Structure 1
Amino acid sequence: MNSPVHQTLVVQLQAGETDRCPVFAHLAYDAADPFALTVVFSHDGHVLARWTLDREMVAEGLLRPVGIGDVRMRPVSNGTLDELRLEFLGDPRTDGDRHHAVVYAWAPAVSAFLRDTYAVVPQGQEEVRVDDFLAEVIAGG
């Protein structure tokens, strides 16, 4: 049985027009869901948000802009620092707009995490056990 991969990073959160502030991003990967990464953002012991991301999309986001829906990613470099810019669109606000946040993560740390996930399930060798999935759905109701 392959063990899950976990990594905690300090990332920079920018919500709205505010300055960036540091928060924790707790990354997790489990071979039981081989296409997905989970990221939980927290600050001062409080969970700010939890997102499930496509592993391939994160890898591509390190190289080029990806995403057209609630999650968008692209590489950003200022010449001395390479970052992954993750943009999240959340639930509607009372003014009719949607909650919006941008997170900047140090790209080499994200790449290292992805390498660790590929050691568990190599890229291109992901598979979904349909029979197990159907049995779980049927058992649940």
Structure 2
Amino acid sequence: MSAVIEQAVEARMVASTPRMETVPATLRYDREDPYAVTMAFPPVATLEGVEVSWAFSRELLVQGVEHPAGDGDVRLRPYGYDRTVVEFHAPEGVAMVHVRTSELRRFLERSQHLVPAGRENQYLDWDEDLAKLLHGRP
């Protein structure tokens, strides 16, 4: 079984204009970083023209599809019957996207098969992480 899950999702940018623009995004889960997920947007979907990735806890995603969650840079909340709003807060401003809740649930289910909730610590390599910390490696 692969140690990494990637899933393309369709995100709809929330803007002041009535029409929401659809942008591609990729959710990623890596067993080597079992507490985190990332959501990446390709260069064509960003104002800077470079890929932008946001990392946040898998537990935040679990909570956010059910009820409002998060109070930091990434916040989630259900929107209607079939959407979840994901907010990205940065010094430059706030970006909000709508993602189908079913796509998020499918991604979470796949990540649970890779690393069951509550067992994340069993997938950490404490020795390697400590060596990286002590030797200043990322």
Band of TM-score, shorter chain = 0.7 to 0.9
Corresponding position: 1:104 with 2:73: no
Residues 43-67 of structure 1, C-alpha deviations (whole Å, 9 max, x = no match)? 6475452100110110110101001
Match of 2:133 among 121, 124, 137: 137
Residues 48-106 of structure 1, C-alpha deviations (whole Å, 9 max, x = no match)? 521001101101101010011221111111xxx511111111124xxxxxx11111000
TM-score norm. by structure 1 comes to 0.83
* Matching residue of 2:62: 59
Q: Please, which runs of 5 or more residues in structure 1 have no aligned partner?
A: 93-98
Q: Secondary structure at the match of 1:32?
A: coil
Using the aligned pairs only, state the percent identity: 32
The structure in which a higher percent of residues are helix is 2
Q: Please, which runs of 5 or more residues in structure 2 have no aligned partner?
A: none
In 2, Cα distance between equivalents of 1:3 and 1:129 = 14
In 2, Cα distance between equivalents of 1:47 and 1:102 = 18
The structure in which a higher percent of residues are strand is 1
Question: 2:4–2:31: 8 Å Cα contact kept in structure 1?
Answer: yes
Q: CA deviation at 1:123?
A: 0.8
TM-score norm. by structure 2 comes to 0.85
